[in-house]
């Protein structure tokens, strides 16, 4: 079996839990997901099955989320699962929020939450946090391409945001930092990933609907439709070379860089073009 699944990860499960369920259903060990979602979060989780796991590095990794931010309280984890740290009774207006959001758009420096799986000196940050150890957390550059208000309840001081961003952006940090910017504190109350690369929430299959191997096969997606690279249709002779991992030259007009090598609309391999010579990086035939 070879392909992608666009799974809707339910709240309360880890991304690894989803993979474990699919391994049990399919009896296939070679299964991996393309981006961790916190247990309290839900939404789009692209899963690669079989040799498709070797394509993870070539997938578009931009993300989009709908997050609910509760203003007035900050927590240890920057989300609803943490303990309250700071509180404020001050109320802000939607205009106040709009004015502050502009500081979070574009390439920004973001400090990840201490309760995260990022490793420092070989140890995950949340392990330092649970042990009560202090550790310097360095900021990282992330890119937020779109950030807009979907709903705002003034009385509850609760804000629903749409966020389109690069891989590695912590929405929990956005919630916490926005609260700091407004001077009222804040934490993430709910998070739904609505997009991961070309995988959208509208087409995601509920995990409860994947009960057997046939269900998985019926929802399997062709990898070729989710890779944003030029395609090159192989001749029979070229296909033989690709199957043996041998480079070949082509007179076709090809730009240097990664290319998808196809045979009858299926992926035969991944190549890299350099001055009309194609080096084989991955073989799938």
pTM reported for the whole predicted model:
0.90
d(CA 278, CA 250): 8
Of the listed 17, 38, 95, 251, which one is catalytic? 38
State the Rg of the chain over Cα: 22
Q: For strand 257-263 and strand 63-71, is the pairing parallel, antiparallel, or unpaired?
A: unpaired
Q: Whose structure tokens read 């957390």? A: 137
**Binned average pLDDT, 10 residues per bin, the chain of 285 residues:** 94 93 96 88 96 94 96 94 94 97 95 68 63 71 96 98 94 95 97 96 96 96 92 94 94 92 92 94 93
d(CA 203, CA 85): 39
Host H or E run for residue 120: strand 119-120
Q: For strand 199-200 and strand 248-249, is the pairing parallel, antiparallel, or unpaired?
A: unpaired
Pick the CATH number of 63-193 from 3.30.160.20, 3.30.2350.10, 3.90.480.20, 3.10.20.30: 3.30.2350.10
The domain defined by 229-283 folds into: 2.30.130
For residue 221, give the DSSP letter: B
All CATH 3.30.2350.10 domain ranges of the chain, comma separated, are 3-60+198-225, 63-193
Active site (annotated) includes residue 38: yes
Please give the pLDDT value at position 115.
63
For residue 35, give the DSSP letter: S
Domain 3-60+198-225 listed as CATH 1.10.645.10: no
* Contact residues for 176 (Cβ-Cβ < 8 A; gap 6+): 74, 78, 113, 185, 186, 187, 188
Q: For strand 119-120 and strand 123-124, is the pairing parallel, antiparallel, or unpaired?
A: antiparallel
Per DSSP, the three-state class of 125 is helix
Distance from the first to the final alpha carbon of the chain: 13
All CATH 2.30.130.10 domain ranges of the chain, comma separated, are 229-283
Please give the pLDDT value at position 123.
63
Helix axes 94-101, 171-182, angle to 10 degrees: 120
Q: Whose structure tokens read 């997050």? A: 67
């Amino acid at each position: 079996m070879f392909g992608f699944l666009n799974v809707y990860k339910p709240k309360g499960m880890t991304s690894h839990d989803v993979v474990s369920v699919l391994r049990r259903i399919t009896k296939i060990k070679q299964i991996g997901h393309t981006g961790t979602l916190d247990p309290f979060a839900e939404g789009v989780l692209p899963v690669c099955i079989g040799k498709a796991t070797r394509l993870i590095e070539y997938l578009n990794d931009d993300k989009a989320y709908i997050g609910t931010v509760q203003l007035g309280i900050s927590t240890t984890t920057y989300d609803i699962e943490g303990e309250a740290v700071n509180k404020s009774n001050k109320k802000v207006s939607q205009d106040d929020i709009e004015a502050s959001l502009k500081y979070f758009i574009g390439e920004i420096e973001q400090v990840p939450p201490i309760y995260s799986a990022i490793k420092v000196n070989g140890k995950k940050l949340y392990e330092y946090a649970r042990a009560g150890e202090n550790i310097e957390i360095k900021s990282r550059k992330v890119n937020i391409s779109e950030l807009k208000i979907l709903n705002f309840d003034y009385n509850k001081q609760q804000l629903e945001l749409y966020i389109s961003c690069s891989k590695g952006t912590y929405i929990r940090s956005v919630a916490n930092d926005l609260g700091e910017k407004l001077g009222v504190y804040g934490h993430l109350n709910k998070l739904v990933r609505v997009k991961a690369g070309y995988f959208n929430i509208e087409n995601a299959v509920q995990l409860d609907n994947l009960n057997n191997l046939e269900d998985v096969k019926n929802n399997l997606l062709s990898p070729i439709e989710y890779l944003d690279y030029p395609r090159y249709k192989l001749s029979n002779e070229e296909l033989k070379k690709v199957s043996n991992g041998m480079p070949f030259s082509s007179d076709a007009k090809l730009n240097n860089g990664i290319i998808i090598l196809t045979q009858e609309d299926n992926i035969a391999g991944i190549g890299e073009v350099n001055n009309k010579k194609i080096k084989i990086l991955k073989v799938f035939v």
